[in-house]
Amino acid sequence: MPFQIIRNDITKMKVDAIVNAACPTLLGGGGVDGAIHQAAGPELLAECRTLHGCQTGDAKITKSYQLPCKWVIHTVGPVWHGGSHGERELLASCYRKSLALAVEYRLESIAFPLISSGAYGYPKEEALEVAVDTIRAFLKEHNLDVYLVIFQKSDYQLSKGLVEDISSFLNEAWKEKKDAHAREEERLDSVSAELESMYLEDRYPEWGLPPCPWEESRRLKKPGIQGRIERVELQIERVNYNETHLGDFFVDSKREEPFFSELEESFSHMVLRKIDEKGMTDPECYKKANLDRKLFSKIRSHADYQPSRATALALGIALELPLSELQELLGKAGYTLSHARKGDLIVEYFVKKGIYDIYQINQVLFDFDEPLI
């Protein structure tokens, strides 16, 4: 995943470079700046003295000393003065200049704090928007693992209206699930009664079918809907078992059809077919999915590739599949969207809204403490 938002202490990030939200003198300060200098030791301050400060929007690089990363990139963010003094461009420049240094030094990974969102007063929601927009634009042209590191939940803030809208969607979905639960109990009563009449060894005792190979102890007596589901599953298993022992009595015409004619399209084949149908290139697809080129090459090269759940979801989002086709794609990888998962409901919310921005989806997943895709 080339770009991730994570909750961590940036001084503990084991990446090629971390970015320090520095003051213009580069001689240390409070917040992230002070924490990085303290963790790196006095050698960092000594090297920073030789740099003679840094202009707002610019970036300079030093060694990391006692930090677990290899380099520290120092950038000076703008102080917020209401947004009419070029703050957005200066903040975007901090990210661009830092990323450019990472490329110049041939680094493979870099971790940013949310620059200017602390003592410099830049509104967190707007600072986040600048960070994400600038980083994603850069990643369209470069291959680099980028982390946006949030130290605590209060450092991260989404639009109140968006959070309320998604929360309302989640509440409605859970209410629907509760109602569906009640309907399922009624359906299972009906199915159970119907299956009872389908016991073949009861209907055809003269055929001498062998007994079913499960013990009475498996006839679970769990209360509620879960117990009913398990009993129905046992009934289905019994019917299926009996049917396999009636080969001498029935001829299944389907068995005469060639096996390979019934093979389903694989996950990889469906992804590649959808890319062609939408007129996309491979890079357009995997970059939009926030996936690494090497990972995508495995999907391209191996027809039986088994993706992670997050990868399957990311590709479905990148391909802008409607909900039914997204479910189909996930099914080919052995997964499904479930209303039992808050994260899945959030993904469903965006798909139903026709919003296929994986960065925005991940921002919301992060805010709701759900795994990113």
Q: Let me know: does 59 contact 148? Beta carbons within 8 Å.
A: no
Helices (H), 245-367: 267-277, 282-288, 293-301, 309-318, 323-332, 342-353, 358-367
Residues 330, 121: contact at Cβ < 8 Å? Answer: no
Q: List the catalytic residue out of 33, 145, 344, 367.
A: 33
By the 8 A CB rule, do 329 and 266 touch?
Answer: no
Q: Provide Rg for the chain, Cα atoms.
A: 28
Strand, coil or helix: 146: strand
Which residue, among 86, 85, 78, 45, has the nearest Cα to 64 in the 3D structure?
Answer: 45
Q: Is 165 a catalytic residue?
A: no
> Do the bridges between strand 71-75 and strand 109-112 make them parallel or antiparallel, or are there none, so unpaired?
unpaired
Closest Cα partner for 12 from 30, 43, 38?
A: 38
Distance, first Cα to last Cα, the chain:
8
Let me know: does 39 contact 14? Beta carbons within 8 Å: no
The pair of structure tokens assigned to 320 is: 């802008």
Which residues are part of the catalytic machinery?
A: 33
